[in-house]
Structure 1
Amino acid sequence: MEYRFADCVLDVSRHTLTRGQDAVPVEPLVFDLLRLLADHAGELVTRDQLVEALWQGRAISESAISACIAAARKAVGDDGKQQAIIKTVSRRGLMLVAEASAPEVRPVPKAASPGVQRIRYARNRDGHQLAYAISGEGPPLIRFPPPLTMDLEFEWSNPPERAFVDELSGRFRLLRFDGLGSGQSERVEPNYDFGVQADDAAAVADAAGFDRFAGVSMSGGVLTAIEFAARYPERLSRLAIVGGYADGRSRRGQTEGPEALKSMVAEGWAESQSAFATAFITSYFPEGPLEDVRRIVRHMQAACPPDVMLKDRDAINNASVAHLLSQVKCPTLILHARGDAVHPLSEARKLAAGIPDAELVILETANHFPYPGNKVWETYIETLTEFLSG
């Protein structure tokens, strides 16, 4: 979504400002002020509206407000004397007075009928195809998928995965997508930069007509979700993290664990009914059920080839989003299994301590996240959906 005024383009989805042909670096607060004025182009934005939108109503000094306004004017090529773009209305507020074009509004795809999944495709900034699907009605919610392990078709047809999709679709307009290189998305080598994957998520949200929404991330999907929250703070209303972590296994000094898991992948990922692949997934779901574990194995083997899976393991083992946690500004809930052997509870505590005002709920299970039939399934779903509903 873009706003155009004077010689400027304010791109909300990419969080960028260009003037003429040049990119203009702007701080998040300055960007938010420009978007607020563009949202109300030609209308008065009062001081109280400004403080509420930018500082959530906190007490802010006049000098801080003035500095933000001055920076916004400088970014768009204006100043306090000319006020050709941003005008101060004495003792009342601000107004964007330059002629502004309304943002392009994309048609919002309809959600699928119950029992029917319609897969659509968006393109990322490199032109590659990203598969996505929408189900349910209600407040918008996006699911950030773990890297290379999701498949829209498998989720729709596999009973335990479908149960989770149905629970969310019963309360929200749920947007799910497959990461580049896996599932129904284009099978090209993915970019292992999780910031780029966050941009892919923004491209899918744009195609689906989602502007501001809640998010849920599971396992390695937290890496993309945290990057997204830091890059696009104005788009994420709240974030739930299930089985997540701040530092990959290699960053925690666990040198044996990653190599053992990688060995399982290298030895048996390409073989059907492989004991190595089953052992790999069982480490995530030691409580089973075993038949669900076997289904997950078959799905993941189909979703991602062995060589790509090995590169993915290296990427997530060496990744860290610890430096971004303080930049997550939306309400955040962390749900984590007490007995999780892959990503220990200490990682969940690290997330909760690093994200401002985050909350941690500990689930009494050893599974990475619960499946239907697990003793904490109902508590898990109720806690998750209650939080996401706000």
Structure 2
Amino acid sequence: MEYHFADCTLDDARMTLTRGGTAVAVEPKVFDLIHLLVRHAGELVPRDRMVEEVWGGRIVSDSAMSACIASARKAVGDTGKAQAVIRTVARRGLMLVGDVSGQTAEQDLIPDPASNAAAQRIRYCRSEDGSAIAYAVSGAGRPVLRFGPPSLHDLELEWTYGLHRSWISSMALHTRYLRFDTVGSGQSERVLRDLDFDIEARDAAAVADAAGFERFAAVSFSGGCIPALAFAARYPERLERLAIVGGYIEGRSRRRADASPDALRAMIAEGWARPDSAFVSGFATAYFPEGPEEERREVQRMTQAASPPEMMLRARDAVNQATVAHLLEHVRCPVLILHARDDSVHPLSQAQTLAAGIAGAELVVLETANHVPLHGSPCWEGYNRTLAEFLAG
């Protein structure tokens, strides 16, 4: 169903919002709130109703609700002062004002599972050792392959949780976004194997082949920079451009000969197998000290479920010992590096050395202490826009 109001169109089949004919990226909870309001245009929607439908009846803080409402207003071109579209009824709830017209979209008449954003389609291909690799494609546009941190992603949980689903939806507005789970984690085959980044690069090539990606852009996050750079050096003819977020040139154990024991590894060993472990909470806080808390907990839940402790420890040991210094001279594509100024896990100096070693690479410094920006961070919109523009070419 398409709903038309103000200069906006909300399509609940494709889960898209456009304003003035331009696509607007919104996170799932914001989309759900706008959807609730347009379905009850002209009616008071009380807070309890919002909590029930948008947050599934869970306890939600006033600040989280206020942030969601503010984002909804911004998405439809409104403000808290003007309230021309979304009006606050003091101490009672919200009301969407103005005329809303609805029509059945043509795509609703002929069901197409591939275009329905509510249904993710996970496919499988094989690694060279025969292990099953899970992958999924979202959106239509320029092809982009995601290299996530080894063993820390789960395709199904990403699709379920708001923060990750919001990021996927944002990328799918501009690109054909290909994600995959590394062997041993997520929806891929849960086999224990030592992490070899050359093999990880060849696994990525197998996934790209299975998805029909010949030449494409890529984006890597944190430790995903290691297989991404291995791929760039091994398959220069396939990679058009590469974005590196939170990357580094040397793992922790290589940076100093007298490096102290890895406290984060100890947290994995002590708490990874226990739900809601304080050790895993400490691990997540080290990466995302600025929060927001709700999104940090989401990252914590997904990463803990994505990989068993044994696989996570192997991955941690591999990235601690890794270096990409020998690969940099072989990278031929344009490279954009984005890094947090106050990142305490992988300091900015690592990104600066990385950028200096790749011919023509550019570095963008993000004003945050979070290892990778989270929705709600002051730098989020600038980061999101810069990355999308680079990947879309």
TM-score scaled by length of structure 1: 0.70
Give 1:161's aligned residue.
Answer: 164
Give the C-alpha shift of residue 191 in structure 1.
3.8
Give 1:48's aligned residue.
Answer: none
Matched, 1:274 2:274: no
Give 2:118's aligned residue.
Answer: 115
* d(CA) in 2 for partners of 1:343, 1:254: 17
* d(CA) in 2 for partners of 1:215, 1:386: 13
* d(CA) in 1 for partners of 2:256, 2:114: 45
Q: Give the secondary-structure state (helix, strand or coil) at the position aligned to 2:217.
A: strand
Give 1:311's aligned residue.
Answer: 314
* d(CA) in 2 for partners of 1:383, 1:199: 29
Give the C-alpha shift of residue 113 in structure 1.
2.5
1:145 to 126, 130, 148: 148
1:378 to 363, 370, 381: 381
Give 1:253's aligned residue.
Answer: 256
1:190 to 184, 189, 193: 193
Q: Give the secondary-structure state (helix, strand or coil) at the position aligned to 1:283.
A: helix
Matched, 1:232 2:235: yes
* d(CA) in 1 for partners of 2:267, 2:168: 29
Identity %: 59
* d(CA) in 2 for partners of 1:258, 1:219: 20
Give the C-alpha shift of residue 347 in structure 1.
0.6
The amino acid that maps onto 1:369 is V
Give 2:304's aligned residue.
Answer: 301
Contact kept in structure 2, 1:111 and 1:137, CA below 8 Å = no
Contact kept in structure 2, 1:111 and 1:136, CA below 8 Å = no
Q: Give the secondary-structure state (helix, strand or coil) at the position aligned to 2:262.
A: helix
Alpha carbons of structure 1 residues 257 and 119: separation in structure 2 relative to 1, 3 Å = farther
Give the C-alpha shift of residue 155 in structure 1.
1.1
* d(CA) in 1 for partners of 2:293, 2:251: 27
The amino acid that maps onto 1:201 is A
Give 2:11's aligned residue.
Answer: none
Give 2:220's aligned residue.
Answer: 217
* d(CA) in 2 for partners of 1:257, 1:329: 36
Please list every run of 5 or more consecutive structure 2 residues that lacks an aligned counterpart in the other structure.
Answer: 1-112
* d(CA) in 1 for partners of 2:284, 2:168: 21
Q: Give the secondary-structure state (helix, strand or coil) at the position aligned to 2:146.
A: strand
Q: Give the secondary-structure state (helix, strand or coil) at the position aligned to 1:192.
A: coil
Give the C-alpha shift of residue 163 in structure 1.
1.4
Give the 5 Å matches for 1:194-213: 194-213=197-216
Contact kept in structure 2, 1:215 and 1:240, CA below 8 Å = yes
* d(CA) in 1 for partners of 2:300, 2:258: 24
Q: Which runs of 4+ in 1 moved over 2 A?
A: 110-113, 254-258
The amino acid that maps onto 1:356 is A
Contact kept in structure 2, 1:148 and 1:181, CA below 8 Å = yes
Deviation string, structure 1 residues 97-127 (Cα, Å, up to 9, x no partner): xxxxxxxxxxxxx955222210000111111
Contact kept in structure 2, 1:218 and 1:241, CA below 8 Å = yes
Alpha carbons of structure 1 residues 244 and 382: separation in structure 2 relative to 1, 3 Å = same
Alpha carbons of structure 1 residues 293 and 254: separation in structure 2 relative to 1, 3 Å = farther
Contact kept in structure 1, 2:163 and 2:298, CA below 8 Å = no
Q: Give the secondary-structure state (helix, strand or coil) at the position aligned to 1:176.
A: strand
Give 1:177's aligned residue.
Answer: 180
Give the C-alpha shift of residue 351 in structure 1.
1.0
Give the C-alpha shift of residue 258 in structure 1.
5.4
2:345 to 342, 346, 369: 342
Please list every run of 5 or more consecutive structure 1 residues that lacks an aligned counterpart in the other structure.
Answer: 1-109
* d(CA) in 1 for partners of 2:220, 2:315: 17
2:358 to 355, 369, 381: 355
* d(CA) in 1 for partners of 2:193, 2:229: 19
Matched, 1:133 2:133: no
Give the C-alpha shift of residue 263 in structure 1.
1.0
Q: Give the secondary-structure state (helix, strand or coil) at the position aligned to 2:153.
A: coil
Give the C-alpha shift of residue 162 in structure 1.
1.3
Give 2:33's aligned residue.
Answer: none
Q: Give the secondary-structure state (helix, strand or coil) at the position aligned to 2:237.
A: coil
Q: Give the secondary-structure state (helix, strand or coil) at the position aligned to 2:327.
A: helix
The amino acid that maps onto 2:121 is R
Give 2:49's aligned residue.
Answer: none
Deviation string, structure 1 residues 165-219 (Cα, Å, up to 9, x no partner): 1111100011000000000000001341101000000000000000000000000
Alpha carbons of structure 1 residues 257 and 218: separation in structure 2 relative to 1, 3 Å = farther
Contact kept in structure 2, 1:111 and 1:134, CA below 8 Å = no
Q: Give the secondary-structure state (helix, strand or coil) at the position aligned to 1:280.
A: helix
Contact kept in structure 1, 2:158 and 2:302, CA below 8 Å = no
Give 2:244's aligned residue.
Answer: 241
Give 2:372's aligned residue.
Answer: 369
The amino acid that maps onto 1:147 is P
